[in-house]
Each structure stands twice: as C-alpha cells, then as structure tokens.
Chains A and B, each alone.
Chain A
Amino acid sequence: MKYRISVDVGGTFTDLTIAESETFTQLGSHKSPTTPEDRSVGILNAMTLAAEGLNLTLQELLSQTAVFCHGSTTATNTIIEMSGAKTGLICTRGTKYILWRGEGRRQTMFNYKMEPNKPLIRPYLCREVTERIDAQGNILVPLNEDEVRAEVRQLREWGVEAIAVCTMWSIVNDKHERRIAEIIEEEWPGVDYCISSDIQPIIREYYRTSCVVLNAMLQPKVSRYLRNLQGKLEERGFRGETLIVVSNGGVVPISEVAKKPVFMLFSGPSMAPEAGYYFSEIEGIPNCITVDMGGTSFDVSTVLEGQVTTTKDGRILNYPTGVASIEIATLGAGGGSIATIDKGLIKVGPRSAEAVPGPACYMRGGTEPTVTDAYVVLGYISPEHFLNGRMKIDRDLAVKAVKEHIADPLGISVEDAALGITQVVNENMLGGILDMTIRRGVDPREFALVTGGGATAVPVAFLAREMGIRKIVIPRETSVLCAFGANNAAIAMSEVVSKYSDTGNFDYEGVNAAVAGITGKGSEFLTRMGIAPRDQKFELFVSARYPMQTTELEIPITLDDGKITPAKLDEITEAFHAAYLARYKTNDPASDVEFLMWRNMATFQRPKIVLAERAKSTEATPLSAMLSTSKAYFGGGEAVDMPIYDGDRLQYGMSVPGPALVVLPDTTIVVPPFATLNMRKHGYFVMDVDVDTQQTNARSRKRALAAAG
C-alpha cells in the first residue's frame, strides 16, 4: 500500500493531491472538471490523471492506495440548491412556527418591497405533538403517542423522505425524543430520521431545529453519494480506508458521518487553514492567514499559535447549522465581482458575472467590468499565459468595459479606473481579514499570508502591504490547497454537552459527569479508529458568559486529573475575565461567570506530507526563466515594463524583483514594485513585501468628487 490520495471536489474543479504513504513524500497534484450530475466521475477522472502521472493504471493505483481523504461540496450544494430530501419535522405542541419565525433582525429596515425570509421547510410540514418538558428536565405534559403515530403516518402519506425530530428541552431530558424515534421505527421501518438530542444537543430551539432539519435533508442523499463512491472505488481495486473531511477541519471515517451529514457542510474549504499552516510552519511562523479568491467569493481563515480558528455556529444561506466549524469569513468579492458607480462611488460586488457570461474579457457576452477585467487592463493577468493558454481572453473587451462603466463617468483614465476597482475590492477583502484578526484583538503584522486558489496571488501583495504583513507564502499547490490540506488533516471529532452551572454555586459533580461523558465519547472514537491512547489528543472548551448575557465566549480549559477542582475553576474564571477584556475592552471581574456548553475535540495527528527538497541553483538571477516583457500599471500615471517568468523554470535560490509576473500552469503571481519573490528549497514561493512604503497616500485628484453623481 504505497499511496495516500486526497480529493477536494469544488464547484468547478475536482482537485487531487497524491503522496507516498510510507515516507509521506508529496508526489503531485492534478485538476479535473467537476461533474455535478455524478461527482464520482470527476473524482475517477482526477485519479486517472494521477495514475497516468505515475505510469500506472487506475486499478493499479487504487489497489496500492492506503488512505483516500475526501472533501466534498456535496452537502453544501445540496442545501444551496435546496435539492435535499423532502423533510418533515415532529416538534412540541406550540412550536411549529419556530423555523418560520427565525431570529427576526432583518437588517434592511427601510425596505419593505421584498419577500420575507424563507423557512428551511414550510410550516405545514412541521407537525406538533402534545408533550412538554421544562428547563430543569421535568415532564410537564407526557408524550401523546397516538398523535406521534398519526403524524408519522401523515408524513409518510405525503411522500416525505426524511423525518427530523426536535422537542423543547430535549437537551436536558431526551426521553420524549427517544420514544418518538421508537415510534417512527415501528410505524415506518427504514425511513431516514434523526433526533436533535443525538445530532447536536445545543440550547436554543431555533438553532437545534435548524441543525436537525438540515441533517435530515442531507441524510439520504449524502449517504447514497458516499456509498456509491465507495462502491466505485472498491470495484476498481481500492482496499484502503476512506476518510471524510468534516466542518471542523478534521477527517473521520464514513461510518461516523453517514448519519450526521450536517457535520460535512463545510467539508471542502475547512481544509484551507490547516494547509496554509503547513507552509507557515516550515517558515517558522506560528500564525497564518489563508486567503482564497474564487470567482464570486473571497474566503479568509486563520491559524493562531498553531490552532485553527473555529466557530460554534457555522451558517449556510444564513440558516444556523449548530455545528462547530472552521471559521471562515466569506466575502462577496471575487474575480467575477462586477464594478459599478453609485452616486459617485466605485462599488464592487456583491453582484457577480458568475461563470456565464463571466468577465467581459472572457468573450462570452459579458459587458460589465469585473475584477478580472481590471487585472487584465492593468497587465496583472497576461492574455498569452492565462491558465497556461488553455483559456482565451480579450484585453480590448476588458478595456472597453472599464472605460464605459467606470473611467468615463468618473473622468479618469482607464488604468486609474481599473486600479480603483482593484483598490475597492482589496478593501472589501481587507474587511474579511480584519474580521478574522484585528477585530478579535489579533495583530496580523506578525502573520504569514498564505494563498489558496489560482488567482489569489494577483492581489495578495497589495493586501499584505495594507495589513503591514511582510511575508506571503505561495505554495506550488496553491490551486489545489484544500486537497493538499486533506492529505494532512488530523482525525478529529468534536462532542458537545449542554450543562449549565455558575461560579456562584458550581455543580462540580454534575459538570464533571457531563465532561467525562464527552471525553469518554472522544476516546472511544479514537480507540475505534485504532489509535493508541498515547497518540490520542484532547482539547476541551467551555462556553461562558456573565449572568444575563446570551452570547458566550468560548475559551479553552484543562482538567486536573480528569476533573474540574476548585483551583481549576478559579483558573478558568480568571481566563474568562482576561479573554473578555481583550475582546471587548471592558470586563466585570466582580461578577459571577456562567458556563453553558462544554466541548471536547478528540484528535489524532497523522504524519504530515513531506515536500521534496530541491537542489540550489547556481544562478542567482532568474534570467533563464524569463519568457517575455509586458506592460503593467501600478499607479502614478505611467505604465511600467514588467518581465514575465515561467514559474516552473524558476529554481531554489533565485530571486525575482518586482515588478514581475510569474506564471504557473494554474496560478498567476503578481510581484509589484514593492515586493520580491524567492523560491524556497521545498519548492514553494515566498514573497517579501516592503511594508514601510505602506499604502499610497490619498492623492487629491483634479476633479471634485461632488460633481461625480
């Protein structure tokens, strides 16, 4: 068993990386178009490319593959397209409108010409049964089992494909939910169903209902998809282990997620931060920001002191998932974002040219200027070398779009208008980076910025300079970064338990029992994975707040011999006050602290991929890699000469001064005048940015802005 393969199925491309499984040496990466009707086809195509790369047949490759890691947007797309199972909900009498009610706060207060928010499922599919449990777990009203039977039969008659169950306070007493589950099995054996206390026992009925309904919607389709994929691989000789990427950035076997597909919602992008960290760690930097610019969105994630940043509540289409996820700030700013003028201001996005018609320069009928068009106008994307010449683009169309829609109305040059578009979109992207750093009291200046996605290395130097970041890492695998990350990901499962207590009267016994429950589950999980106790790693967190607040701050905690002792409690309380002050600039140390939810993250870090070392070049200048010279515009009224280099011919030890353009098969790197690009011995690039000449000071343009509208 020689190989370790990972595949990340994205919206457009299926990315694959492959490594040697004994020595963990990286062997290569491949891209193949995603096949939305049956994604396993695209996966097999990518695997065939990988096999060809090694002069093997697909059968030969698969029969020698020990581990197959899989990240997939299947779950994400199922929800985004609303193509999941038709789902019915069984809930407590008096709560059928919970999904329709949502959270309020529509945030567009002066707009009334709009449709109301759509509930995840229509109210008529939410079926109430008589029963009630209170906050302490007492049964106020017993379950009416006849009603449950009648509702299951009704849902069956309506052709529902999955049933979700969520009752009030099942997080403190799950007796009614369990009984409803038994009745479902009796009345309708074989139907897909799930209950909220199993899937994710979190407080707040709206979040928990949303989570369990999402899960039910995904369950039939995702488990079918995984079964089908596994079957196809086995038919072709695969005998290894399949691991699925989950939202928290770990990987788990299929058996662990088949019943909990809601945990797969961020399966693809959740690999980005860990993959970014892989490179920043080699560079000796414990903090990194991974940025990924796609066609319509810009994703930002961070690693702090080696820890990937996570959130308790990942969201999809603004529906809460209730599942702890890798925290990703997603901004509506990508290569396809359209630039417009609104009352004299350049605005970029949120409208996007999508894949069709695409940017104006794609020659597919788009006429509005996009960010990609601006890059083409500025010379940052070279028509001759775009995607290795596989895709034709027309610079004149880009110029026309920018001129007509932006430059002429503002009375400025086409180049200045294009630069303006990039500056506005950069500012939007900076917003995402700020969200993940400064706004949490984290200073980004000591971070490495790592790129994912083929186009991200175009704006990245400008972003770095604005943030005061000196070092950018551009992996050779940048266009398949998530697949690369999946090959490295730790086996990880997180378990939560809701158990309220406070410092005023701390329930040591109750909390310790609850915490023991989740740590026990974590260690059972890792043991099931065949991981020796000494390699099992556990991280505990608690969600805490001051009395009467309803938002919690999650802080890491440790136990004393498996328990919280009075001394430990003091330590946890101090840590909370300190974390609170850092985040909110005030705190209330005289106050009690309340603890709501405890989370355990059980992990096993698999050995990491090793990148081959390259020999140092005897040439210091990159002349041998130079392809041609073109023009580029970086402001100041004059375009400058800019050499273009072939990234594949650059060697370890070479240094490329800006301005320069470096092209790779799937990646373009812009090296502006204030930066220098170097190749490292492991084959990735590092761009050093001169941040001392930070930011072009606002130049007063000749025309008054007031006349622009």
Chain B
Amino acid sequence: MARDDILIPPYKTELFAEPIRPEEIAGLPGALDTGLDQVDPVTFSVVHARIEGIMTEMTETILATARNPILHGAKDFTCCLLDTYGASILSMVDCIPVHVGTMSPPLRFIIRAFGDDIREGDVFLNNASYAGNSHVGDFTMFAPIFYEGKIVAWACSKCHLLDIGAHLPTSMDPFAKDIYEEGFHFPGVRLCRDHKPITDLVRFIAYNFRYPQQWHGDFLAQLSSLWVAEARVIELCKRFGYDTFKGCLTESLRYGERAMREEIAKLPKITVTETLKTECFKGYIDEPLEFKMTLTIDPEEGYIDFDYSEMPDQIDFSYNLSYATCRCSAIQGTLPILSPDLPYNSGALDRIRVKQRVGALAGIPRWPVGTEVATVGLNDEVTNLVFKTWAKVLPDRALAGMGEHPAANHTGAGIDPRKNDQPYGHLHYLAASAAGATEGFDGLPHMFGHCIMGNMGYESLEIHEQSLPRIIWEVKAEQDSGGAGKWRGGIAMSHRLQPVDHDMQLIYCGVGHTWPAFGLYGGEGGEVADHWLLDAGTQEIEARLENMGETICRRDQHWYARTGGGGGFGDPLERDPAKVRDDARDGFISLKAAREVYGVVLDTKPELYAVDEAATQALRAEMRAAA
C-alpha cells in the first residue's frame, strides 16, 4: 500500500533526511534480508569488482544512447546501486561529485511514499528538491531489482535534462524565485510498470517539455542503463546465490564505514571556523554576504561534523542550495582531502554530518523558494569554503581556490535555419575552468568547477557545429589565468562562438566574477571568470555581460566566455624556472609574467627558450628585497 499521508506538500524533511527504519520496508519481500553473515574475502573481492563493472556499464550505456549533449558529451549524470534501505552501495564509479551525496534522499522519499506497492519492472522518478532531490533539472530515476520475487537492490540513474518545461527554455533558470517558476516537479512518480513506460505520463511530459524528441531519447537512455543493471545483478545473484550477493552488499557498507573511520582516526581532534565572501548578483546580493562554517573532527567517535547554521538567509531566487546539495558540499570538499580513493558509499559518507539551518541560503530551504541552480554556483562557492576550512587542519593537503565559469549554467537557445527553423537549446561544455594548486602539484585544467571536478567531457567542435547552427571560432588556454605560485593555479579555457543566420538567446548565471579563486600560502588568486559580446568583424567589445542575466547574441556578434583560473600555492619566486619556461613557451603564461611575477629571465631566441640562471637569481633577489 502506498502511504496516503505523503500527499500534500510541504513534506517533512525527515521523510528524505532520516534513514529508513526496518519496519518501514518490512512489507517488501526480501527487503530486510542482509544475506550471508560472513562472506569470505575472496568472494567479496570478486562481487565487489563485478558491481563496479556494472556501474561502468550503466555509465557507458547512457554515454552511447543519450540525445542531450550534457549527457553524452559532458556526462552530467551519475549511476549507482543502492540497497533496500536506500543506502548507496560502493559502486558510484566515475561519478559527478555533486551527485555523490544526493542519491539516497530522493530514494528514501520514494520508498516511504510507495510502501509495499513496489514491484519488479517498476521505475520511479524523483526530481523534486523538496522531496530530497538535488535540483529540478536532475531527473533521478530508480528501478527496484528483484530476484526470484525478492527485492535485492535499487538501480539509479541521475541525469541532468536540458529542459523541464519552465517558462524560459532552460533547466538552469537563475531567476526562478520559487518552485512554480522552475518547471515540472515529480516528487516520487511511477514512470514504468512491468518494464513498460506508462504512456499517458510519457505523453504528458513530452507535451510539456521543449525538445520532446530529445527528452524521450534521454528517457530511453536512462531506462537502458537501469535495465542493463537489473539484468547484470540478476546474473550475479544466479551465479553467487542471493544470500551471498546480499551479504556482499551489507559487507560493502561495513567496508565503507571501516575505511572512513580509519581515515578519520588519523586526524587531530579539532574545531576550526572559516569564512568566505559570497559572489554578488545585481538586485539580489548587491553587497557581499559572508559564508561561515565550523568543522569539528572527532577521531575517536569517527565523525566529521560541519556546522552550517551561521550561513546567510535564503534569497528569493533559485540560487539557494537544496537539502541534498547542501549536505553534498561538505562531502565534495572532504573526500578529496582525506583520500581520493575512499569508497563513495553511504557507509563512508554517513560519517560526515552537516548541521543545516531551515531558511538558510546553504541549509534547508523553506518551501517553496527556488533551488533550480543548486548544483552549480553556490554549491561550488560553499565547497570552496569547505576546502579553505580544511586548509587550516591539513595544510599539505590544502587546495587553493577553484576557478569558476562565467555562466556555469548557461543555456543558448534559438532556431536552426538549416533545419527549417527548428528550435534548439544547448548547454555549453566547450571550455572548462581550472583547479587551484596544491603542495607538489600545479592546479589541474579541464575541471568545470567543484561540482564536476574534471569528470565531464568536452564537446567536439565539429560535432557541435554539425548539430547546431554555430561557428566556434576559438577554444583556447587563457594566458596568465592560473594564479601565480610555486605551484601554479590551473589554466582556464575560453570559447568564442557565433550563431549562424539567427540571433541566439543566452540565459546565464555563474560565479567567480566577483572574486578571484583564492591563492594559498603566498600564491596569487586566479583570473576571474568573465564574458562578453564582441563585434564579429572588429572583435571590439560591445557588451560585458553580468554573471546573471538573459540577453541576445546577434548573428553579427561573437560570444566570448572566459572561465576562471585556479588559485596559486606558495611564493611564485620559488617556482622552478624550468616550469616557468615551459609555461611561457606553451603560451600558458606571458613573457611579462615570467619576468615580473616569477622573476625568471628567458632567452626566447632558441626554440626551447632558455633560462638565464644568473639573471634569474639576481632578479629574484631584487624582487624579494623589494617585497
């Protein structure tokens, strides 16, 4: 029976925030089975490897079959397997960081809403942030997997869609002040029964979403990935036995917890507080606010606690974090600091706790304020602060500020004159921002911000021009965009493109305009993100665009968007002159910067340049004295 008390919103936060209790799923056959108590280590290793293989196959399936470039090109999706309680299993391989911690809450809501009315062949959808999802654009679909009549696990695919039927042609509308302006929400809705789509519902969605054929293709891609996982899990149950397989799932959560506790036990018992100024948005945040968080580590109990209760109040636009993305920001900034290869499952993730305040910008939003862009801008800002806070605890693991996107969530929409003026919409993944530097390594390029951490793909220029009426005149590494330092901030990219024979509508909202990505320990900040409209002929600037807005790029203009570079780490005068030379030769830094910022004198005559050692030493000494 479906629960009839989960009908009218606002829903209580605990419906998706609290773990499922055994009595809540007792009516589902097999749901309480934990399987073999002791699985031998070899079998566990084997099953574990196979589950990872299944997740990879789910991912490859979507890449190959999706219709939407943010899926097949940029890979803005994550697949995973969850247990019958909705706990994510060690199996989120190749994921998007902002998705890592946002899998369980929307499933818990579905489990509670549908109770024991869950059958083999069902597929459920939850894209509602007030029902536990990340944001409205993330179509999070779940399929229960049954073996011989008993529920084994849930497969999940979370895919970012291009359009969700809002008044503006985008799934990233920064102006949406509440959920009613965001598009269509599905707070736990059954989409398939008996492995068949429920056609009236499909018709309803296809009617309301722009580019319906594209959506339908993406929907099929998600089903493919879920059903491929289902088939593979059933094969595994057949091969190893239901009890053994279930025992492995249970063990993998214990394994995650054990690994995380081991990591936390190495940390000091400490409490630190850190702040960061917010990005400004004209008319919404005119003066910078202050983000503030406190981190407490308890190595004995094995918990990492973040207190977000002093975050600023929520604002009437869709920049607010949802419950799930807010919690996830702490995870995104913590896993890489501890160890990059920790298992990304609930056993590990549940050791990170976040105190979230109701009504805060980064907390638990108060119904029905907008959260449509909760996966990008603000999530990145808060994650940056999580890293900055950790820098106080573990300086050698510290990461300088992440470069951002001038329009991290920007949609370009128009009509294609080559295809009978058919409307199109597109999110751009042509150029990516870069990460901050860290002790021992320069900042990594091609990152797309903390929410992605480099795990998205670039679009091919030729494929882009084939499918859309555009000319991409340039994608390039932006000279001097990485913050100077002993370890240089990552080099950002830019793109410059022109709509062909039509005028293109741009809707955008980004961060990293107001403040450069911060440097650490003497490193300089990265170049800020920015974007402009240029005259197509003269390349003169016709307009500098804000970080949030809506505009038209005419057919005789170029849209030039420069992402932000990462912050530097350490004193630039300590940078290895050979690295400065390599950077200068490849155009990553200017000759002026080589001399004036890094104090390196180069002979640019020979092909490989040459460091003038004596002159460099003298210049550096002079610069140190002047400082």
What residues make up the interface of A, taking CB atoms closer than 8 Å to B? Answer: 93-98, 100-116, 122-124, 132, 134-135, 140, 157-159, 168-169, 203-207, 343-347, 410, 419-420, 423-424, 427-428, 431, 434, 438-439, 500, 546-551, 553, 584-588, 591, 695, 697-701, 704-706, 708-709
The answer to whether B475 and A109 have CB atoms under 8 Å apart is no
Least Cβ distance of A137 to chain B in Å? 12
Least Cβ distance of A425 to chain B in Å? 11
Given A112-B336, A585-B224, A105–B457 Cβ distance below 8 Å? yes
Given A698-B240, A700-B40, A101–B458 Cβ distance below 8 Å? yes
Binds A, one of B81-89, B108-116, B147-155, B434-442: B434-442
Digitize B60-72: 1 where CB-to-A-CB distance is under 8 Å, 0 elsewhere: 0101111111001
The answer to whether A110 and B587 have CB atoms under 8 Å apart is no
Least Cβ distance of A343 to chain B in Å? 5
The answer to whether B496 and A94 have CB atoms under 8 Å apart is yes
Digitize B338-355: 1 where CB-to-A-CB distance is under 8 Å, 0 elsewhere: 001110000000000000
B446 contacts partner chain A, Cβ-Cβ < 8 Å: yes
> Which of B46, B454, B458, B500 meets A427, CB within 8 Å?
B46
> Which of A106, A110, A549, A588 meets B335, CB within 8 Å?
A110
Chain A residue with Cβ nearest B452: A109
The answer to whether A346 and B42 have CB atoms under 8 Å apart is yes
Least Cβ distance of B505 to chain A in Å? 20
Given A112-B399, A115-B441, A159–B476 Cβ distance below 8 Å? no
Q: Do most interface residues of chain A lie in helix, strand or loop, or is the interface mixed?
A: loop
> Which of A97, A424, A546, A706 meets B475, CB within 8 Å?
A97
Q: Which residues of chain A are near B49, meaning CB under 8 Å?
A: 424, 427-428, 431
Q: Which residues of chain A are near B404, meaning CB under 8 Å?
A: none
Q: Which residues of chain B are near A585, meaning CB under 8 Å?
A: 223-224, 227-228, 231
B126 contacts partner chain A, Cβ-Cβ < 8 Å: no
What residues make up the interface of B, taking CB atoms closer than 8 Å to A? Answer: 36-46, 48-50, 53, 57, 61, 63-69, 72-75, 94-97, 213-214, 216-217, 220-221, 223-224, 227-228, 231, 235, 239-241, 244, 251, 254-255, 258-259, 262, 335-336, 340-342, 399, 429, 432, 435, 438, 440-446, 448, 452-458, 460-463, 465-467, 471-477, 490, 493, 496, 500, 585-587, 607
Q: Which residues of chain B are near A108, meaning CB under 8 Å?
A: 340
Bound-state CA distance A471–B37 (Å) is: 36
Q: Which residues of chain A are near B443, meaning CB under 8 Å?
A: 112
Q: Which residues of chain B are near A97, meaning CB under 8 Å?
A: 475-477, 493
Chain A residue with Cβ nearest B41: A705
Q: Which residues of chain B are near A548, meaning CB under 8 Å?
A: 67-68, 213-214, 217, 467
Given A549-B66, A705-B38, A94–B474 Cβ distance below 8 Å? yes
Q: Which residues of chain A are near B472, meaning CB under 8 Å?
A: 94
Given A103-B458, A548-B67, A410–B254 Cβ distance below 8 Å? no
The answer to whether A584 and B224 have CB atoms under 8 Å apart is yes
Bound-state CA distance A158–B606 (Å) is: 8
- 9 A-B residue pairs with Cβ-Cβ distance under 8 Å, sorted by A, are A104-B429, A112-B399, A122-B585, A132-B471, A424-B49, A551-B72, A585-B227, A700-B37, A709-B259
Least Cβ distance of A188 to chain B in Å? 16
Least Cβ distance of A90 to chain B in Å? 16
The answer to whether B53 and A588 have CB atoms under 8 Å apart is no
The answer to whether A586 and B220 have CB atoms under 8 Å apart is yes
Given A109-B454, A586-B227, A344–B336 Cβ distance below 8 Å? no
Known: A109-B97, A113-B440. 17 other contacts (CB 8 A): A101-B493, A102-B458, A114-B444, A122-B585, A343-B258, A347-B45, A420-B42, A424-B45, A428-B49, A548-B67, A585-B223, A586-B221, A586-B224, A698-B244, A699-B40, A700-B37, A706-B254
The answer to whether B463 and A107 have CB atoms under 8 Å apart is no
Q: Which residues of chain B are near A96, meaning CB under 8 Å?
A: 476
Number of A-B contacts (CB under 8 A): 245
The answer to whether B217 and A588 have CB atoms under 8 Å apart is yes
Q: Which residues of chain B are near A546, meaning CB under 8 Å?
A: 65, 67, 217
Bound-state CA distance A135–B472 (Å) is: 11
Least Cβ distance of B544 to chain A in Å? 22
Least Cβ distance of B271 to chain A in Å? 24
Least Cβ distance of A638 to chain B in Å? 18
Q: Which residues of chain B are near A168, meaning CB under 8 Å?
A: 461-462
The answer to whether B239 and A695 have CB atoms under 8 Å apart is yes
Q: Which residues of chain B are near A110, meaning CB under 8 Å?
A: 97, 335-336, 340-342, 453
The answer to whether B64 and A157 have CB atoms under 8 Å apart is no
Q: Which residues of chain A are near B262, meaning CB under 8 Å?
A: 343, 709
Q: Which residues of chain B are near A98, meaning CB under 8 Å?
A: 461, 475
The answer to whether A109 and B95 have CB atoms under 8 Å apart is yes
The answer to whether B41 and A111 have CB atoms under 8 Å apart is no
The answer to whether A100 and B477 have CB atoms under 8 Å apart is yes
Q: Which residues of chain B are near A343, meaning CB under 8 Å?
A: 255, 258-259, 262
Given A203-B463, A586-B227, A107–B94 Cβ distance below 8 Å? yes
Least Cβ distance of B337 to chain A in Å? 9
* Most central of A105, A169, A205, A706 by chain B CB within 10 Å: A105
Q: Which residues of chain B are near A109, meaning CB under 8 Å?
A: 95-97, 452-455
Least Cβ distance of A52 to chain B in Å? 48
Q: Which residues of chain A are near B462, meaning CB under 8 Å?
A: 135, 168-169, 203-205
Least Cβ distance of A92 to chain B in Å? 9
Chain B residue with Cβ nearest A588: B220
> Which of B432, B440, B455, B471 meets A140, CB within 8 Å?
B471
Q: Which residues of chain B are near A423, meaning CB under 8 Å?
A: 42, 46
> Which of A95, A547, A551 meets B213, CB within 8 Å?
A547
> Which of A159, A424, A547, A588 meets B46, CB within 8 Å?
A424
Least Cβ distance of A438 to chain B in Å? 8
Bound-state CA distance A343–B214 (Å) is: 44
Given A116-B446, A550-B69, A111–B336 Cβ distance below 8 Å? yes
Chain B residue with Cβ nearest A468: B239
Q: Which residues of chain A are near B37, meaning CB under 8 Å?
A: 700
Chain A residue with Cβ nearest B228: A585
Chain A residue with Cβ nearest B490: A116
Q: Which residues of chain B are near A122, meaning CB under 8 Å?
A: 585-586
Q: Which residues of chain A are near B72, meaning CB under 8 Å?
A: 549-551
The answer to whether B458 and A410 have CB atoms under 8 Å apart is no
The answer to whether A113 and B438 have CB atoms under 8 Å apart is yes
Q: Which residues of chain A are near B68, meaning CB under 8 Å?
A: 548
The answer to whether B463 and A550 have CB atoms under 8 Å apart is yes
The answer to whether A701 and B40 have CB atoms under 8 Å apart is yes
The answer to whether B45 and A427 have CB atoms under 8 Å apart is yes
The answer to whether A112 and B457 have CB atoms under 8 Å apart is no
The answer to whether B461 and A205 have CB atoms under 8 Å apart is yes
Given A424-B46, A591-B217, A708–B476 Cβ distance below 8 Å? no
Q: Which residues of chain A are near B429, meaning CB under 8 Å?
A: 104
Q: Which residues of chain A are near B461, meaning CB under 8 Å?
A: 95, 98, 168, 205
Least Cβ distance of B196 to chain A in Å? 11
> Which of B67, B75, B477 meets A549, CB within 8 Å?
B67
Given A500-B466, A700-B36, A584–B254 Cβ distance below 8 Å? no
Bound-state CA distance A553–B466 (Å) is: 18
Chain B residue with Cβ nearest A548: B67
Bound-state CA distance A113–B442 (Å) is: 8
Q: Which residues of chain B are near A123, meaning CB under 8 Å?
A: 477, 586-587
The answer to whether A103 and B61 have CB atoms under 8 Å apart is no
Bound-state CA distance A709–B40 (Å) is: 14
Chain A residue with Cβ nearest B227: A585
> Which of B36, B244, B458 meets A104, CB within 8 Å?
B458
Chain A residue with Cβ nearest B94: A107
Chain B residue with Cβ nearest A703: B38
Chain A residue with Cβ nearest B57: A439
* Most central of B217, B399, B462 by chain A CB within 10 Å: B462
Chain A residue with Cβ nearest B453: A109
> Which of B38, B446, B500 meets A102, CB within 8 Å?
B446
The answer to whether B223 and A586 have CB atoms under 8 Å apart is yes
Q: Which residues of chain B are near A588, meaning CB under 8 Å?
A: 216-217, 220
The answer to whether A94 and B67 have CB atoms under 8 Å apart is no
Chain B residue with Cβ nearest A694: B239
